[in-house]
């Protein structure tokens, strides 16, 4: 579990993207072929602004999953905790993995402190799970965070997401003792950290 991309949930993000307001600047990307131009790619990783319509499967999928696992109150809270601008360059990024132009996975990071990026919203579409997509997304987010100058990554995950905790542990993340946040009903989230090379 962890904070969100949107102001009030996935539907507000859709409205912001289509509303005509100023779009956040596109992240400057390393010269390795990753494109930030919407519509220019059909396969692979792409860094996009939060209003990009290709973020909708990720946002709606996360919202549905949070509500299903944690209930509507915590689910809505999770999807509303951080402003979308937190996930734009130079301090953050919103990453999608596309296959045939369809969003099959993604995630984001934001500034936690000067040396630490906070990872958020690692997600894989249910039809594409068990293919290593989340692990690929995680590795690409780590690479982008390191390129942005971060030396560590911090993240939280919820007690009802054991598969996420297993992914992070197997990817070199260490549980941070004493970081649990407890919610009503015995639900909690815990922090993890990884030092980047």
Q: Are 112 and 118 in contact (CB under 8 A)?
A: yes
pLDDT digits (tens, 9 = 90+) for 107-131: 999 999 999 999 998 989 989 999 9
Domains of the chain: 10-151 (3.40.630)
Q: 157-185 pLDDT, tens per residue?
A: 888 888 999 999 999 999 998 666 766 67
Given a contact cutoff of 8 angstroms between Cβ atoms, the answer to whether 21 and 37 are in contact is no
Q: Are strands 44-47 and 93-99 parallel, antiparallel or unpaired?
A: antiparallel
Model's pTM, two decimal places? Answer: 0.75
Tell how strand 188-195 and strand 152-158 pair up: antiparallel
Contact 175, 188 (CB under 8 A): no
């Amino acid at each position: 579990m962890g904070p969100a991309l949107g102001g009030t949930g996935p539907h507000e993000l859709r409205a912001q993207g289509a509303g005509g307001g100023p779009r956040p600047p596109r992240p400057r990307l390393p010269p390795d072929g990753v494109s930030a131009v919407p519509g220019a790619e059909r396969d692979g990783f792409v860094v996009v602004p939060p209003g990009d319509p290709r973020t909708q499967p990720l946002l709606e999928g996360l919202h549905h999953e949070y509500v299903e696992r944690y209930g509507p109150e915590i689910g809505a809270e999770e999807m509303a905790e951080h402003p979308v601008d937190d996930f734009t360059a130079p301090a953050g990024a919103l990453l999608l993995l596309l296959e045939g132009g369809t969003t099959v996975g993604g995630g984001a990071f934001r500034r936690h402190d000067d040396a630490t990026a906070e990872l958020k919203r690692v997600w894989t579409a249910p039809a594409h799970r068990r293919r290593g997509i989340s692990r690929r997304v995680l590795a690409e987010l780590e690479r982008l965070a390191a390129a942005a100058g971060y030396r560590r990554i911090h993240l939280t995950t919820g007690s009802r997401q054991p598969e996420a905790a297993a992914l992070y542990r197997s990817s070199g993340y260490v549980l941070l003792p004493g970081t649990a946040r407890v919610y009503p009903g015995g639900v909690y989230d815990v922090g993890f950290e990884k030092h980047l090379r």
